[in-house]
Structure 1
Amino acid sequence: MIQNTSPQADNYNLWSFKPLKKLLVEKNMSKMDFIEAMGISSSTAAKMWRNEYISMKIIDDICNKFECILTDVIEHIPDGDSKENA
């Protein structure tokens, strides 16, 4: 059996982008507006909406662009809660 040791395997559903979704609603910004403003690909955005791994550089770029802190973008999902918050 091959173990997947990629960052995606280790971090899947440990973090939620629910705070970012709330931030976009507060700013009256659509997903497409967000993608264009950030200059990210639609596949990267889709990973975020599915709470999958993205680089910390992108998260840092989001914090800088929106002048916010990390917890305005992502939140930690405690063990056992990943299916409830997905």
Structure 2
Amino acid sequence: MNISYKKLWKLLIDRDMKKKGLEKAAGISNYVISEMTRNENITVETVGKICKALNCTPNDMLEFVSDSE
């Protein structure tokens, strides 16, 4: 199983927010944004920070996809 952050990127577009704005609002680093851009794993703590900043749930920002996708 792989992880996809497509939902997060769509959420940012819907809220007219850039990745830099997410960094600031959630208190996360550019490195974490880079990891998510490459669909790499991030910590649960980071997921929590993003969810708190965007007032959303983890299900609103990420999904697990099968290896074949």
TM-score by length of 2: 0.89
More strand by share: 2
* Amino acid in structure 2 at the alignment position of 1:22: K
1:22 to 10, 25, 48: 10
Bigger CA radius of gyration:
1
Gaps of 5+ in 1: 1-12, 82-86
Of structures 1 and 2, the one scoring higher in RCO (CA 8 A, sep 6+) is 2
Gaps of 5+ in 2: none
Identity, % of aligned positions: 33
Distance across 2 between alignment mates of 1:67 and 1:26: 14
Pairwise CA RMSD:
1.3
Aligned length: 69
